[in-house]
Amino acid sequence: MASKGITNSSERCKSCLFSFKFGMMRFPRRYVNSRLFTKEHQSCSSLGCFLLFYVAAISKQRVLKKLITHWGFLIDYRSRTKLQAFMEHVRVIFFFFACFLTLVPFHAFAQVDSYEFDPDFNCVDRGNFTANSTFAGNLNRLVSSLSSLKSKAYGFYNLSSGDSSGERAYAIGLCRREVKRDDCLSCIQTAARNLTKQCPLTKQAVVWYTHCMFRYSNRTIYGRKETNPTKAFIAGEEISANRDDFERLQRGLLDRLKGIAAAGGPNRKYAQGNGSASAGYRRFYGTVQCTPDLSEQDCNDCLVFGFENIPSCCDAEIGLRWFSPSCNFRFETWRFYEFDADLEPDPPAIQPADSPPSAARTERTGKGKGGSKVIIAIVIPIVLVALLAICLCLVLKWRKNKSGDRNKVLRKSPLSGSMAEDEFSNTESLLVQFETLKTATDNFSSENELGRGGFGSVYKGVFPHGQEIAVKRLSGNSGQGDNEFKNEILLLAKLQHRNLVRLIGFCIQGQERILVYEFIKNASLDQFIFDTEKRQLLDWVVRYKMIGGIARGLLYLHEDSRFRIIHRDLKASNILLDQEMNPKIADFGLAKLFDTGQTMTDRFTSRIAGTYGYMAPEYAMHGQFSVKTDVFSFGVLVIEIITGKRNNNGGSNGDEDAEDLLSWVWRCWREDTILSVIDPSLTAGSRNEMLRCIHIGLLCVQESAATRPTMATVSLMLNSYSFTLPTPSRPAFVLESV
């Protein structure tokens, strides 16, 4: 068992923490005035705890403010409450570490208390009883009644069970002074149960546990001294020199404590203390204890009996414990008990008659050694905490420099609409280290490249736990700047829909701008629909599913999500296809966000961005955009999916002078030759569905935004054949891609 000094230090550190937890950043006055600091330095660990706690208090306005300074970017999007919670967490973590450092050095200095021992059962040979006797019933009831007892403050229990017929059972339980109330009662309950098992049918028995004693008898034992049986434990270290001095000092200390304990009241007869050292020996410590039911004379006689038995059992032994049913004592050369000034007044000096100078020198030497230990124990934690603080500041400074670019990007111009600043906090969990992405993509090797465009390259990667990812690495000269990059991160962090690509993470380091998506096996729609061989794989069932999926994704953005979002860059290359060819809308760099409470009136922008051929005319020429802008792009996509041709590639033969795709389809519609625009590879499937989808596509690309349907109406048109489609007007003529 560890020495009690370590246990007490832990408890005091918990007390420090209690004060700390409730924001008392000054050291509690009650600790300064308490018995925590004594000339014996018994509570050196607590002193270290005090000093570290004081350092934490002094550093509150400095260290913690430094932490907030280094983490300053949090202030831009965290509320004041969250910031205060963060500060509180830092304080608690710092203090836990301080207490830990306080205890570590003392663990090295602490002596191990070998007081733990196996229970010693003594079945006294003073008669037996039968299993069915009245005494047996009374004893069983007495032991059972222990479970219903309430714990007592002084650790002494006097019990009896039965009438006065001569078969009454009597019992006494006693705990060591420092044992807690509940632990004491639990120890006595265990001792009683086990004693009746170990000594069945015995009328008198006693057992000593490490923390308690229990005895029972068939005769009255309260107030009566009993010195047998006895038990002695020794540490095994014998005195080799100056035995006379040692025995005199030992007996002197025990005699002094005996008088104090015997004079104790009816609740406790206990004393503890120490005696001056002798030449060649350390300071002595001892405790004596009697059951408090004894008279002063009986307690004195019981302890004298024990002292007189020392020569026969434990002569000249360093480390002695002696027990009898009515009293016990312990003698050591180190402090094994909890210090209590009320129980341990300053002892008178006990010095050898023939060598007082040597004793004095030994006293000073002992104090010097103790002082050295105290200095070491205080300095080491402070030095370690100082080193920790320096390392922490360096790490925070490194993280601040590393995160500077990221913070600059994320704070640079807010999103459109009334998006709250704390929305930035949603992206913290998505941060991915650049080194992690380098490893996942094999250093962005060409073998893992999935595609390349004006924005940069897309690579396939695999995280260490096996998850496949698509890594979009933006090039420095791409058209997608920091605003678009930030826009996509913050939007996709909020959106969850089966027809929208899922953002897994992002990375900002130096000039690197990287987005990490879920891996979509079949790449983008344009790689299938505009490839003469791959589009053979897309029958009408698959293409119709794509049209419906894109419509559902747009409907979610426009009406069903937390915010209303206009994509503004819907095109075939931004539609990704998963393993089952389900479409997923991607690339939200140009998206515009509005609160659901805002009216969806037209908006204007001076910065027109997107892909010609998919832009609505009012947006391409005047910067005017609304949800109908996305509806126009959807109509172009529908016609491309059915015809297998690009809108910006001219007519059926690809001639530069040929009419654009929308004009060609419109002419065929007017001339009633619309079946000729259907992709020749679509040899199977419902022609009526194909014609209906072309009709819906033409309704979506009408020149006037007011006449275009909303995505809610488009979804109704696709899913309900009872809905009569209106006649489309002439589509807009848009410029080719530049």
Binding residues for ATP, as ranges, are: 472
| SS3 label, residue 272 | strand
CA 709 to chain CA centroid, Å, is 51
Q: Is 214 helix (H, G, I), strand (E, B) or coil?
A: strand
Residues whose CB is less than 8 angstroms from the CB of residue 539 and which lie 6 or more positions away in sequence, other chains included:
682, 684, 685
| Cβ-based neighbours of 613, under 8 Å, separated by 6 or more | 571, 636, 646, 647, 648, 660, 734, 735, 736, 737
Tell me the CA distances in angstroms from 38 to 107, 274, 602, one per residue in order.
20, 14, 80
Do the Cβ atoms of 276 and 350 come closer than 8 Å?
yes
CA distance 487 to 571: 18
Report whether the peptide linkage leading into residue 229 is cis, meaning its omega lies within 30 degrees of zero.
Answer: yes
CA 352, 358, 364 angle in degrees (round to 5)? 115
**Which residues in 572-652 belong to E strands, given as ranges?**
575-577, 583-585, 592-595, 603-604, 624-625
| Residues classed as catalytic | 569
Query: The sheet that has 317-323: what strands, in order across it?
Result: 231-238, 317-323, 327-332, 284-290, 269-275
Nearest Cα neighbor of 694 from 652, 644, 638 is: 638
Phi and psi at 478, nearest 5°, equal -75, 160
Q: How far is CA 535 from CA 408, 526, 528, 655, 678, in A?
A: 44, 10, 5, 22, 13
Give Cα 123 distance to the centre of its chain.
53
Helix (H) or strand (E) holding 47, with range, is: helix 44-58
Count of H-run helices and E-run strands, the chain: 20, 21
CB 217 within 8 A of CB 170: yes
Question: In one letter, which amino acid is 41?
Answer: H
């089952």: which residue's tokens? 580
CA atoms within 13 A on the CB side of 610: 33
Dihedral angle over CA of 663, 664, 667, 671, nearest 10? -170
Phi/psi-derived region of residue 662, left when phi > 0, alpha when psi is between -120 and 50, beta in every other case: alpha
Using CA atoms, how far apart are residues 496 and 533, in angstroms rounded to an integer? 33
Report the alpha-carbon distance of residue 573 to residue 586 in Å, rounded: 9
Nearest alpha-carbon partner for 557 in 569, 546, 566: 566
Burial track 514-538 (b if 16+ CB lie within 10 A, e otherwise): bbbbebbebbbbbbbbbeeeebeeb
From CA 115, how far away is CA 319, in angstroms rounded?
10
Question: Which CA distances in Å does 252 have to 183, 191, 275, 337, 521?
Answer: 33, 34, 8, 19, 89
